[in-house]
Amino acid sequence: MNNQEKEKSGQDIHNHVIGWTENCDTKASIMIAFIGIFASIFFTSDYILNSLQSLITHIAIYWTTGEGQFDFLSLIVFITLGLTLVFIGMAILLLFNVLAGKTTCNEDSVIFFHKIQNQSFEEYYDKINSINEDELLKDRFLQIYNCSRRCTEKFASYNKAIKKMKYGLLFLGIFMICILIVNS
């Protein structure tokens, strides 16, 4: 394969990797939007807020005066709410990690934007003019490799976020069932 064919192949691979990276970013953005919409509905629900306020009042009265009744189900409500918030919070952090930009490249590169901007224009111009075709091709493939590595990190964080969301939704379901039982 000559250099022109290698360059064409590299461009195809790069476009493929960028497509997968955009796919992951889109999924993470949709998940964050879903969580935001769901959280705003959940935390502005009078039913949920009134139920929690009533439970907190009953527990506070029991702990401060010893009067009333300590309900194990109320404890389960607060534990499941706490676990829901922890797991969904962890999912949100992982999703933001997916969307965070990374500007690290340990290798000296004439293609990587962060390395370019760390030089004056004259330094960059001299460097790009002094590089031969094979070195430039190697640099392009190095950037493809770095993009692939970042794409893999993004998908790993996204998959962890999905797992945390599953647990968060499971605890949310238990929380909602307990709230319904407490209020019945």
Q: Tell me: pLDDT of 3 over 90.
A: no
Residue-wise pLDDT for 85-140, tens only, equals: 999 999 999 999 999 987 776 677 788 777 788 888 888 888 888 888 888 888 88
CA 68 to chain centre: 44
The predicted structure's pLDDT at residue 106? 67
Average pLDDT over residues 126-155: 89
Domain range for residue 30? 3-183
pTM of the model: 0.83
What are the CA-CA distances from residue 163 to residues 31, 94, 108, 167, 169 (Å)? 12, 11, 37, 7, 10
- Residue ranges of alpha helices (H) inside the chain are 3-43, 46-65, 72-99, 113-117, 121-130, 133-183
* Domains identified in the chain, total number: 1
